[in-house]
Amino acid sequence: MKMPFWGSIAAAILLAGCSQDSSKPGQTTNTAVGDNPINAPGEYLGALAQGHHQAMKTVDVASLNKAIQMFEVDQNRYPTNLAELVALKYIPKIPPTPVGTKLDYDPVNGLVKVVNQQAP
């Protein structure tokens, strides 16, 4: 009666030690970031925050470019700087950028983009 119990324990130990690693010697396996289900909530929230961050950059630039186009139609020139858009009431204020970025405005062609801020 004890033999089948110990036999099943021994089989379970042997099977637990076996793995089906199909990689060859010297070959590295590719492990994705999302392989561990324990980390899934954190990875999801990180991806969600990154998507929100990217969407906010796009919206801010789109609204600024539209204000610059309206300014150009009214004044027949591009604004010399973004503060001129606020002074002439084309926008209520210059929108804040995400941490570590800044707005880059080119008054020659009237384009605004969000760029990474260089450390001093």
In a domain, 64, yes or no: yes
Q: Please check whether residue 27 lies inside any domain of the structure.
A: no
Domain that holds residue 100: 45-120
| Two tokens, residue 5 | 């119990």
Beta bridge partners of 104: 113
Contact yes or no for 91/64 (Cβ under 8 A): yes
Question: How much is the pTM?
Answer: 0.53
Number of structural domains the chain divides into = 1
For CA atoms 73, 76, 82, 87, give the dihedral sign.
negative
User: Within a domain: residue 10?
Assistant: no
Q: Kindly state whether residue 79 falls inside one of the protein's structural domains.
A: yes
Considering the domain boundaries, does residue 6 fall inside one? no
Burial class, 68, CB count within 10 angstroms (exposed 0-12 / middle 13-18 / buried 19+): buried
Do residues 93 and 86 lie in contact, with contact meaning Cβ atoms separated by under 8 Å?
Answer: yes
CA distance 40 to 74: 51
pLDDT tens track for 34-77:
677 787 777 877 777 777 666 666 657 888 999 999 999 999 99
Tell me: pLDDT of 90 over 90: yes
Q: Are residues 82 and 94 in contact, defined by beta-carbon separation less than 8 angstroms?
A: yes
Please report, to the nearest 10 degrees, the dihedral formed by the alpha carbons of residues 29, 33, 38, 42 taken in order: 170
Q: Is residue 36 part of a domain?
A: no
What is the reported pLDDT for 77? 96
Does 53 fall in a domain?
Answer: yes
Q: What whole-number distance in Å separates Cα of residue 85 and Cα of residue 68?
A: 7
In a domain, 69, yes or no: yes
